[in-house]
Amino acid sequence: MTAPKGRTTTYTTDLAAMPQLTTTVPREYVHRASHAEVFLTGCEKLDEDRFALTGEWPRVHPFFTSADGGGHAALQAAETVRQTGLFLAHAEFDVPLGHQFLLSELYLTTFAENLVIGRGPSDLSLTAACTDMVRRGKRLAEFSMDITIERDGRPCAAGGGRFACISDGTYRRLRGTATTARLRSRTRPGDTLAPAAVGKAASADVVLAATDRDDRWLLDPDPRHAILFEHAGDHYPGMVLLEAAWQAATALGGPRGFTPSSVRAQFQQYAEFASPVWIDAAPLEGAGDDTGFWITGTQQDHTVFTATVN
């Protein structure tokens, strides 16, 4: 329909009266390929090294959901910690897009009673503080971060990590021919642990295959997994190793009623696609096997990562 000749129709919009729209931060800033896997929605700088952020966990997530479907998985908080570190580096400290990040440490404590899924997405309030910052010239090279994650004023998780930032050229020189490596299909699909044994609902989410020992497993994730391998890479991501540690502790302690709630992991070197990665678990020294476990990942007799899971 057109306006009659000689008459001008004016449309006005009261922007203040419109509902406020929520979007995620740019996916490139958290190194995700899909907007659906971005859990941060905004950021406000409080002072030179402290930031208030907002986030959202979807009500239904294909991977970061408890086996019974009633709660957010604890390691969704770990992924949120990882995303926060990368986002702050890019958005607040001017680390160029295209730089690679090395995660040398990640620690997390979660509060299961506040991870229960509600009627809608979980809106998050995060406070992050960056410390021990190392610069090379004007460029940020390393930093540590502590973070708290709250939902409706209640703590969901607290944690942090240590990040190093390196240029893509430096990364390629460091990695050499490994940058062309690609993950093959599962090595032992028939030996993958039962999902219920590791706190998962689907076999595709299990990253461990059985060996002839109850306290040792082969790292054997599904390379087609849409979350664990959400974008291409040349080594096992740190989140896959963290998931392996969590699943190992759950498998060994589950029959005795052990349910993990915290983890502290140190990553010593890249876990390569080319050779097997073995995951070993043992009760923490001086603690019962229903209290926590010491997890070690090895490859070609070298330690890839260690973790305590409580």
Per-residue pLDDT tens listing for the chain (310 residues)? 444 455 544 545 454 554 556 799 999 999 999 999 999 999 999 999 999 999 999 999 999 999 999 999 999 999 999 999 999 999 999 999 999 999 999 999 999 999 999 999 999 999 999 999 999 998 999 999 999 999 999 999 999 999 999 999 999 999 998 888 888 889 898 999 999 999 999 999 999 999 999 999 999 999 999 999 998 899 999 999 999 999 999 999 988 889 999 999 999 999 999 999 999 999 997 655 568 999 999 999 999 999 999 9
Domains, the chain, in order of start with CATH, read: 22-173 (3.10.129.10), 181-309 (3.10.129.10)
Maximum distance among all alpha carbons in the chain?
Answer: 89
pTM above 0.85, yes or no: yes
Return d(Cα 147, Cα 54) in angstroms, integer: 12
Beta bridge partners of 105: 162, 266
Give the CA radius of gyration of the chain. 22
Q: Whose CA is closest to 73, among 112, 45, 105, 99?
A: 112
Mean residue pLDDT of the chain comes to 92
8 A C-beta contact, residue 203 and residue 191: no
Q: What is the pLDDT of residue 275?
A: 94
CA distances (Å), origin 237, targets 15, 107, 145, 307: 43, 16, 19, 15
For 149-179, the pLDDT digits (tens) are 999 999 999 999 999 999 999 999 999 988 8
> What's the burial of 34, exposed, middle or buried (CB within 10 Å: 0-12/13-18/19+)?
exposed
Return d(Cα 136, Cα 78) in angstroms, integer: 28
Return d(Cα 7, Cα 12) in angstroms, integer: 16
230: number of CA atoms within 13 Å, CB side? 19
Beta bridge partners of 145: 130, 161
Specify the 3-state DSSP secondary structure of 171. Answer: helix
